[in-house]
Each structure stands twice: as C-alpha cells, then as structure tokens.
Structure 1
Amino acid sequence: MPHSVSSNDSAPHNNDEEILPDAPSAPENESVTDEQKGQPNQNAEGNVKLEDLFANDDDDDDEFPASSAPDVKMASSPPPIPAAAPKGPSGIDAETMLAFYQRLFPFRTMFQWLNHGIVPSPDMINREFAVFLQNEAVLRYQSYATVDLFRKEVLRLNPTRFEIGPVYTTNPRDRKSRPGIQMKPIAKELVFDIDMTDYDDVRTCCSGAQICQKCWAFITMAIKVIDGALREDFGFEHILWVYSGRRGAHAWVGDLKARQLPDDRRKAIAGYLEIVKGNDKSGKRVNLKRPLHPHIARSVKILEPHFNQTTLIDQDVFVGEQQAERLLSLIPDKKLSDALRRKWDSMPDRSSANKWNDIVTLAQTVPGLDTKAVTDARYDIVLEYTYPRLDAEVSKKMIHLLKSPFVVHPGTGRICVPIDGRAIEEFNPLAVPTVTELLNEIDEYDAKNPGEPAPEPEIPTEGSVPDRKMQDYEKTRLKPYVDYFRSFVANLMKDERSGKRERGEEPAKATTTNDAMEF
C-alpha cells in the first residue's frame, strides 16, 4: 500500500528565490572553497579545515560520502531539488523521506529542545543546521527562527538527513549579507561520539559496520561509564543519548553550563574521559598511575562484570593465538607470562575465561612475584578491553556538526532514536524501526481502523484534558522513543525556567500552545 503524502505539505520545487523574513538567504551556488576562504571570522581560532566541522560518525563510510569528500557539493542556499532522486543504499526514496517528515518527525519537540523554551530565542534563531540534500549537496549555515519555519523548510528541501551545529553571535545566514559581521560560536551542547569500529580489535563477532547484540554491549558499557562520570564528576543532569542509526551512539549534554563551555574546557573534559590511547593493536594502550583516580576506580567496578561476560564469554577474545599473545604482553612479570604460555601451548583450545583465571592460579606458583603488580595489570587489562573509546575530536570544538536525533540513517533506514538511560541494557539497536517499517505500521493501523473519526469537541471541565485525534507516531513503534524525548525536553525546559528566575531574568510570556499539534 503506498504511503500517503499530503498535497498541502508537499515540498515545492525550484523555490530558491523565497525570501525568509527572519533568516535572509545567502548567495547561491557557493563552493567549498568559497565557504572556507570567505569566512575568517566563523570561529575564534581562525581558519578551520572542512573535515573538522563534521563529526566523524558512522555515516562516513562507503555507503554515504564523507562531508569532506571532494565530490560533495557545498552550498548555503537551496539549489533546485531533483524531481526524482535515486534510492539510497537502504532503498529509501524521496517520497518515503517526505512522508516520514510529514507524519513522524517530532518538529515541535526538536525545536523546544534546541531553543530551550517555547518562545523563539537566539538559542534557535542563531543555531546552524547543515542540510544533506537528496542530490548529495550540503547546505551549510541554515537556521530556523520558528517551529513552523523549521518544519516548512525541512519539508521543502526533503533532506536525507541534517546535522546540528553551534549557536552563533548572529544568525548564520547573515554572515555574507552583512559585510564585516563578527560571527563566532558561543554555545553548543557538549557532545560525545562512540563508534563500534573503534572496538574491532577487541570483538570477534563482527567487524566494520556490522553489529550484533553481543558486541553492542561495548556501547552499553561506554554509555554507563561516560554517563556516570558526566553526572557524578561534573554535575551535569540533562544528558541525551541517541542511537546513531547503525553502529554507535552520541551524547548531547544540554545543561546551560555545558553549552557555554569554551573549547579549552571541552578539550579538558574529553581528555579526562580518554584512557585508551594509541592505535597499536599489540601494545599496551592503558597506562595509569596508582592509586587509581576515583573515576577510574568507579569505571573498573562498572566494567568488571561486563568484562567477565562480554570479553571472556561472548567474545571469547583470548582463545586465538594472536590475542593470547597480546594478553601475555600485558602481563608485567616475564616468569608468569612464560609459565602461562607453556600451559596454553599445551592446551590450544583453552577458553578465554580459563586463561584469565590461569593468571591468578599460576601467579601463586611463581616465587618472588609482585602480586600487586599483577593485580594492577589485571585492572588495566579490564579497562583496555572494555573502557569507552571516544572520538575525542568531536567533543573538543564547538563548531563540530553532529547528526540530529530522529533523522533516518541513509545506510540502514533506521531512525536515530534516543536511548532511555534508565533502560540502557534493554536497548537493542537491531530492533530499532526503519522508516519503511514505521510508515507500513501507520498504514496497517489505519486499515484496521477505517474512518476513525476525529473526537467530537466538548466543553472542557476544570482539570480535564480535551480529547484529541491520535497522532501518527502513536500508531507505531516510534512512540516510546518520542514519549521519552518529550519527557526529557520538558525537564530541560523546566530547569531553564528555574535558572532564569535564579539569575533574575524575566522569562518571556509564552503564547498558549496545544501539545496535540506536536507534528
């Protein structure tokens, strides 16, 4: 059954000359070099490489070109939209994407999340979006002053996805229409990017872009450790974890004090959380001072049970000769490592769990062994095989763009859904619905409930909530993810209002809005 697309919402073609009163459009057909050469003030540090502006997330693979690739066209105003774009690797065509934006994308809650309130503020008006079009062109420095404009422009452009950048000192679309303007990034969520490919040397079940529930445990561990550190060590509260759509996760820290962090503080936090260093697969990548820092000690406590299950049993990572040798190289005492090697050579099929236990058993037989050094080495090994592996560069600079929540991953078709921090271990990336599945679920629901009438208007009584027509997302498996996101945003806005009162700022009076008009 074809997915219905409302004629009222369909995106007009060739509407490049549209003048947006609150966001003047920039000159057309700008190239990469135009964007780079003409913007000495786009950040406080001067010249910036194009690849530094985009997060090195899991979209940068063979199935979708990297934003820094030479064949990706850059522009800051919309070129003509192709009438019929070819299907992407996941089989998603332009009509499917348009139906998704019309029927399922939570525009109003997204706006409130980035705006930190209902009434439009500079947090949204001066926010940069990078829009990836169906023809693979990328529109930089887009901005949307209202939720209606946000929705209208996304429907008009019908992008494959869009990424979110910083809040600037002025509307990013004004940077060329007003010569001499100083446009500097002043705020953005503190973000983190975790990619499964960084665990390829410690997982045996999958590699590259492939994932399964067994190796997803590494992302679960990372979320637990990073989330705990951000809350307990830095006092952040509003941390939104989002599935990247294929093989990773992103964190968005939305607290005001996190959004206002300068780049040097962001770099310091990233360094604080970065323990596994270097790319040498055979060398020691964790080197820690003793006694362990409280954050590291807490991490060991979190990770040790996961190491016992994931590393030793599910991945059975030390069963092979090469990985067994790597483990031996991490043992500080040569006599012990030689004794372990002899035993394992005589028992080539010995499991990883047994090999791990052998370290303690044989250590008791080696005379003069420094048992504390062996214990310390075991903790270091646990951390080396399970501690979060961050793409730290994404976290260090405000100007980095990061894929928006709730967009569609172009390679898998899965939605980039929020991950409920209260149920991290229950999250299964392979169960996340694809855009096609969601649209089919709407069709199936409507077929089972033909002619479902809109609720009759009624005179509301005090304290009652008027009935409303069921929204399309509520007919699908996207509902729990949208509901969680709405709850997260509501708590964030509540704290923002409280913070303004504490600072003596008079909050703007918001016009009455109907939450039923979510989409």
Structure 2
Amino acid sequence: MSGGSHVSSIKTSRRKISVFELRTNANPRFIGSDPCSSQKQIQLCGLKGCDIMINFGIKCIIFFNLEERKWKTTAKQDWQIFFCRCSLGLTTRSCSQALQTTPPSKLGAYFRCPGVLPGESFPRLFSPQKMASSESQYDAAELPDLLPIYYKRLFPYSQYFRWLSYGGVSKKYFQNREFSFTLKDDIYVRYQSFNNQNELEKEMQKMVPYKIDIGAVYSNKPSQHNSVKSGTFHAEYKELVFDIDMTDYDDVRTCCSSADICPKCWTLMTIAIKILDRVLEEDFGFQHRLWVYSGRRGVHCWVCDENARKLSQAARSAVAEYMSVVKGGTDTIKKVHLTNPIHPSIQQAITVIDHYFEDYAVNEQDIFSSKETWQNVLALVPDGLRDGLQIDFVKAKSSTERWKLLQRTLTATYLEEIKLQYCYPRLDVNVSKGINHLLKSPFSVHPKTGRISVPIDVKNLDKFDPFSVPTISSLCKELDKTKEEQENTSVENDEEPEVKRRTRDYKKTSLLGPIKVFEQFIEKMEHFRKGELLKQSDRGGDF
C-alpha cells in the first residue's frame, strides 16, 4: 500500500473492509481488514458498505458492494490511495469499460487466475470465498517441514556437482569451494566444504539450510581454514558474478517499492539481462553465462568461463565499472552523463531500451501521469527548458502528449540520458569485484517467498514470469499428487534406487523446466571444454 500527501480516514459505518491483492498466476492474497488499523490510514472517498476493494493500475478501483450485491467502479478522481498493488495491465482502458465489453470467460484468462471455468461470471470469479482460498499460497511456517523433502527428493545434486566441478579440471576445485548455510533462526555457518557430491548431499539433508550461498575456490579446504598457516589461506578462483536488485530502482518505478515487485517493474530485469548478456558475450567474449532468478526481487549472473574465474579483483572491478552507467547515491538527482560521441556499448543498450521504453515507462509506469511523477523527469532536463515544459505539461491532456512534448523539446542526448536513468541496469559493484564475495546459490529456496532460485532461459527471456516460478509449497504438493513408490525398495544396491527415485521425482514437478535449462548450460560448458582439450592435443601433436 502507498499513501498520499493529504489523507483522511473516513468511517465506514463500523463495517470492516477486507483488502485483497490480485497476483499473477496465484490466488489473491488477503492484505487485511479494517484499514483504520493498518500502518497507513486509507481514504475511503465515501464508499460505504464495501467489503472488497481492488486497485487496477491507475485508472479506477473496482469494489464489491455488500449492500447492493454488485460490483462497482469509481473513477480515479474519486480516490487518492492505492488500496493494493495489482499489475494486470488495465492502464489504457478503464475497468468499467473492461467489465462491460469483455466476456466473463475471457476475463478469467486475461487475469490468469487459477481454477477459472469458461463462462464463470466476474462477481463469482472474485467472490470473497474464492479470494480467501489460499491453497497455492506459501506459508513460511511450513518451511521447516518442507525443506527436508526438497533436499531429499528434488534438489539437483548431480547437475550441481557437475557445474561446480568444471569437468574435473582439478580434484581440489570442488573440495576447496566455500559453501555457506543460513540455518533456522538466522544461524549463519560459513566455510563449509565437501570432498564430493555424496558429502554435500548428506550435509545438506542433515543441516537443512534455509539459504545456500556459494563462495570462492580457496587455496585450502575452507573447512580447515583455522588449521592452516596464517597467510596461506586465500581465495584463488571465483566465477565473475553480477547482482541486480529491484530495490535499486525505487527512485524510478511508481508501481512498487522496497522488496515488492510486479510484472510492470519486472520489465526492468528483462532489460537488464538483455543489455548485460550482450555486453558479456560481444564486448568481453564470455561464452558461459548462467542467469538465475533470486527468488524474490532480482537476478544474478554467473560468468563461468575459465578466464573469467581467474580474473583478479582489479580486473573484476574494471569489468563492473565498464558496465556502470547510472552513478550516484540517493542524493544525486541526475545519475547519467553521456559523452559525445556515445560509447558503442551504451548505444547498443539504448537500442534495447527503446524497444521497451514507451510501453514500460510512459504507459505502464505512467511517469508523466501527475505533477509528482513528471517532476522527477523534468529534474533531468536543462534548467533553461524546465519551466517551459512545466507549463506545457500542465496544459497537456495525457501522458502520451507530455512524452511527445519532451521528445520535440529535448536533443537526442538528453532524451537518451533520461531513458538510461530510468531503465539501464543498476549493478551492485561490490558483489562483482570481490573474489571472496558470497552469492546466493541456484536452486536455493527464498525463505520469504518460498520461490526457488531457478535458472532463466535467456532465449525465452520475455516469457519469463517470476510469479510462475515454483515455490517449495507448490513442488511438495505436486509430489503429493503423484503416486509415490515405496522408499525402502528391496534391492542389492541401496544407492541406485535413491538416485533413480530422485530423478523421477523432480520430473514430476514444475522444477523439470528450470533443471533442463541448467543441464543445457552445463552440457554446453562440457562440450566446449572437450573441444578445447582436443585443440590442445592437436597442437601437441604438431610438435
């Protein structure tokens, strides 16, 4: 929820108001009742006898009136507060128009809510009974019961070990890798290391970590770091990693803030991946880039090429600095300053941003919708043009008209600086430059959301939906729905049925797709390594 500048609380005839948040690919989540007791008071605009309020973007509110037993809408000018965030895209047409013109069956498909039957009426679709249903919701209280199942039956240990072993480049490569576990009650255990896959499995199933972080490959086993001679224990290798967090965009997104995300602002992550992936491949020549959803509000990139793993801290800093365009802290207003001519890499980034900017920033984020939002844009234009644009913006009738005014007034360089400030990737440079910096592991479970940190298929990036990423709850429910075989199968080799069963288990769940993406990434690396070994062998034969 977000507050306005002048908010008053209006009594509701002692009737509690239940507020729900509509979520993509999930049942609506109950926010709370009786808004007067919430953290921020809510202006009700005289709407009484109203049991459910849902905010659809910025155009209007739809609510269910208990007294009249009807769904109604109210125009934007009748309210000032977003009762809850919902990013289902109704920003170009009003909800009342949508209700009047869209068939009920299509509404169900449009909003992508589960369990919707063709022909089901809109009031029934979002009835209080349906909205209160929370079978697919994640409950953090269940995590201690679900994690043992996940680590025993679903975690892809085999693929994970293949990845971090890098084809057996050195036996010490996996053995000297640092793992860090965050246990229940935020108990933090660093410098874990394992000799092989079997040891890793047993320890993870024993400790049941709430979070897994991966560190560097050290000169000695991290588990023995206290017993080695002082000064000899140091980080030697580490993937070049990048961390992009949605909270770093809070000054330029209007739909959400802090840890919240929605499909509207997720476009920023799509843009970031496309820009950085191109830079890493074309400007630096890195071939093996694993993009991973963090499980909540960001993405990570693991650059796994051998030359990337051997980079010094200074070289990592240089790469991160090369990619940094948006610079300055919260007190810095203008964070992008372009040189003339524009660097070719930045020009390529602008091409990517141009593909999304109008739909994302002008329409969805609606950065020109009000004086409060367009002031942030005008703060980035030259002083001599600002006052005139301010007057013209007040006269303009729509966000699109204001955007066209800006395009006609500013030079290309100023326009591009605005686009970059609003959309260019914002890196946590400290994560990238430190060799011994820890980063959250793929296939770790996010304890706040329950979502799995899954690899992203960059070839189908625009189709990736963080809200459809499986949660540990949904995975365990999928397992429950399948016919389970007996755990204690009578065979001579005790390990074989366990391996086969685990492989069979993840294939029964929605974790199958992300693991396939992971396997394809590993297979590409292994194939490349075999090719390099053959080239070395051929060169040796020439001598």
Q: Which of 277, 301, 320 is residue 351 of structure 2 equivalent to?
A: 301
Q: Which of 512, 518, 521 is residue 479 of structure 1 equivalent to?
A: 512
Q: Does 1:355 align with 2:388?
A: no
User: Which residue is 1:265 aligned to?
Assistant: 315
With over 3 angstroms needed to count, the CA separation of the structure-2 counterparts of 1:333 and 1:360, relative to structure 1, is farther
Deviation at 1:415, TM superposition (A): 0.3
Q: Which amino acid aligns with 1:355?
A: R
Deviation at 1:201, TM superposition (A): 1.3
User: Which residue is 1:489 aligned to?
Assistant: 522
Q: Which of 527, 531, 535 is residue 498 of structure 1 equivalent to?
A: 531
Q: Deviations over 1:462-502 (max 9, x none)?
A: xxxxxx76610111111000011011111112223333444
Alignment of 1:195-206 (within 5 A): 195-206=245-256
User: Which residue is 1:213 aligned to?
Assistant: 263
User: Which residue is 1:345 aligned to?
Assistant: 394
Q: Which amino acid aligns with 1:490?
A: E
Q: Is the 8 A contact 2:338 2:413 kept in 1?
A: no
- Secondary structure at the residue paired with 1:473? helix
Alignment of 1:315-334 (within 5 A): 315-332=365-382, 334=384
Q: Does 1:379 align with 2:416?
A: yes
User: Which residue is 2:30 aligned to?
Assistant: none
Between the two structures, name the one with larger relative contact order (CA 8 Å, sep ≥ 6): 1
With over 3 angstroms needed to count, the CA separation of the structure-2 counterparts of 1:136 and 1:329, relative to structure 1, is closer
User: Which residue is 1:440 aligned to?
Assistant: 477
Share of identical aligned residues, percent?
Answer: 40
Deviation at 1:184, TM superposition (A): 1.3
Greater displacement, 317-326 / 99-108: 317-326
Greater displacement, 170-179 / 431-440: 170-179
Please give the alpha-carbon distance, in whole angstroms, between the structure 2 residues aligned to 1:300 and 1:140: 41
In structure 2, list runs of 5 or more residues that go unmatched.
1-137, 492-499
Q: Is the 8 A contact 1:219 1:249 kept in 2?
A: yes
Q: Does 1:396 align with 2:433?
A: yes
Q: Which of 246, 251, 265 is residue 296 of structure 2 equivalent to?
A: 246
User: Which residue is 1:145 aligned to?
Assistant: 195
Q: Deviations over 1:279-329 (max 9, x none)?
A: 246721100111111100000001012111111111001222133222223
Please give the alpha-carbon distance, in whole angstroms, between the structure 2 residues aligned to 1:230 and 1:286: 21
User: Which residue is 1:410 aligned to?
Assistant: 447
Q: Does 1:230 align with 2:263?
A: no
User: Which residue is 1:284 aligned to?
Assistant: 334
Deviation at 1:119, TM superposition (A): 8.1
Q: Deviations over 1:152-210 (max 9, x none)?
A: 11111111121000001121222222334611111110000001111111111111111
Q: Is the 8 A contact 1:263 1:398 kept in 2?
A: yes
Q: Which amino acid aligns with 1:177?
A: S
Q: Is the 8 A contact 1:209 1:247 kept in 2?
A: yes
Please give the alpha-carbon distance, in whole angstroms, between the structure 1 residues aligned to 2:291 and 2:145: 29
Kindly tell me the number of residue pairs found equivalent between the two proteins: 392
Q: Which amino acid aligns with 2:404?
A: N
Q: Is the 8 A contact 2:289 2:302 kept in 1?
A: yes
TM-score, normalized by length of structure 2? 0.68
Greater displacement, 150-159 / 278-287: 278-287
User: Which residue is 1:54 aligned to?
Assistant: none
Deviation at 1:443, TM superposition (A): 1.1
In structure 1, list runs of 5 or more residues that go unmatched.
1-87, 364-370, 457-467, 507-519
- Secondary structure at the residue paired with 1:182? coil
Please give the alpha-carbon distance, in whole angstroms, between the structure 2 residues aligned to 1:360 and 1:494: 49
User: Which residue is 2:218 aligned to?
Assistant: 168
Q: Which amino acid aligns with 1:189?
A: E
Q: Which amino acid aligns with 2:399?
A: S
Please give the alpha-carbon distance, in whole angstroms, between the structure 2 residues aligned to 1:124 and 1:211: 35
Q: Is the 8 A contact 1:238 1:253 kept in 2?
A: yes
Please give the alpha-carbon distance, in whole angstroms, between the structure 1 residues aligned to 2:423 and 2:167: 38
Q: Is the 8 A contact 1:225 1:299 kept in 2?
A: yes
Q: Is the 8 A contact 2:407 2:415 kept in 1?
A: no
Deviation at 1:359, TM superposition (A): 2.1
- Secondary structure at the residue paired with 1:325? helix
Q: Deviations over 1:414-466 (max 9, x none)?
A: 0000000101110000111110110110111227xx889x9x9xxxxxxxxxx
Q: Which amino acid aligns with 1:313?
A: N
Q: Which amino acid aligns with 1:240?
A: L
Q: Is the 8 A contact 2:242 2:427 kept in 1?
A: yes
With over 3 angstroms needed to count, the CA separation of the structure-2 counterparts of 1:273 and 1:119, relative to structure 1, is closer
Greater displacement, 325-334 / 383-392: 325-334
Deviation at 1:261, TM superposition (A): 0.3
Q: Is the 8 A contact 2:183 2:211 kept in 1?
A: yes
TM-score, normalized by length of structure 1? 0.72
With over 3 angstroms needed to count, the CA separation of the structure-2 counterparts of 1:218 and 1:141, relative to structure 1, is same
Please give the alpha-carbon distance, in whole angstroms, between the structure 1 residues aligned to 2:512 and 2:201: 20
